[in-house]
Amino acid sequence: MNNQLIIDCRGVAKTYDEGAGELTVFHDIDLQLHAGETLAIIGSSGAGKTTLLNMLGGLDKPSRGEVWVAGENLHAMREKPRSRFRNKTLGFVYQFHHLLPEFSALENVAMPCLLGGMSVSEATQRARALLTQVGLAPRLKHKPGELSGGERQRVAIARALVNQPRCVLMDEPTGNLDEQTADQVQALIQELTEELQTAFVVVTHDHRLARRMQRVSRLDHGRLVFDAVAGEA
């Protein structure tokens, strides 16, 4: 692991205005993640895991505090540069994967590279290699509607990794995968942390996956109260 700070979350709070009152999802979250580190965020339903992940990815603004990603103050950036920065630096895997229905698996995965200005042949080559790594070599030409839920999830994972981001944010990446495919995803995470020093933040209810991350933090009553090494989740 090198020592570069990839995520530096300082005193982050999120409050929703509920009309009659306020809902504070969390307060004073401090979180640091270095290159090559993997972190699982666990916690009960409604604890605020997805909300926190959205702050780290610049998709939702904190009510207080700052989120620095790879040396940039994410929420101080204007929308366009932030969106370019996100495409280059972060990869996202959501529960709802938002694949483009009219494009094939291969095209969906190549898309972030093409948007970043890479040649079609290089983007296609990278996309093919990643789809092969997640076991989808026989499905390259299939459109999302012709794939199973787990296959679509794997396409989304390949798409999140194709630009070789510094950090990947995953929301329930193994939610609809069988054990064997979940293991493939976990192996891919490990490979990328070792080879490319990619950092991963994984929100999950899957304790098997959480245990395999280097750190596990629990979001509980608005605080990250538990930060253990892997194996204690």
Residues that bind ligand ATP (CB under 6 A): 16, 23, 25, 43, 45-51
Nearer to ligand ATP, 159 or 218 (CB): 218
Q: Percent helix, strand, coil in the chain (nearest 5)?
A: 40, 30, 35
Q: Tell me, rounded to whole angstroms, the distance of Cα 70 from its chain centroid.
A: 15
DSSP-assigned beta bridge partners for residue 226: 218
In the complex, the smallest distance separating the C-beta of residue 204 from ligand ATP, rounded to whole angstroms, is 9
Cα–Cα distances in Å, from 142 out to 38, 119, 200, 219? 31, 22, 28, 38
47 or 127: whose CB is closer to ligand ATP? 47
**At closest approach, how far in Å is the CB of 59 from ligand ATP?**
12
Residues 6+ apart with CB under 8 A from 79: none
How crowded is residue 15: how many other Cβ atoms within 10 Å of its Cβ? 15
Residue 36 burial class via C-beta count within 10 angstroms: exposed 0-12, middle 13-18, buried 19 and up: buried
Structure tokens that stand for 84 in this block: 């370019």
Q: How far is the CB of 45 from ligand ATP (least distance, A)?
A: 3
The two three-digit tokens of residue 6, written as one number: 């990839």
Between 51 and 198, whose beta carbon lies closer to ligand ATP? 51
Q: How far is the CB of 18 from ligand ATP (least distance, A)?
A: 7
Q: Quick one: 9 or 123, whose CB is closer to ligand ATP?
A: 9
Instruction: State which residue, 147 or 210, has the beta carbon closest to ligand ATP.
Output: 210
Quote the least distance from Cβ 51 to ligand ATP, whole Å: 3
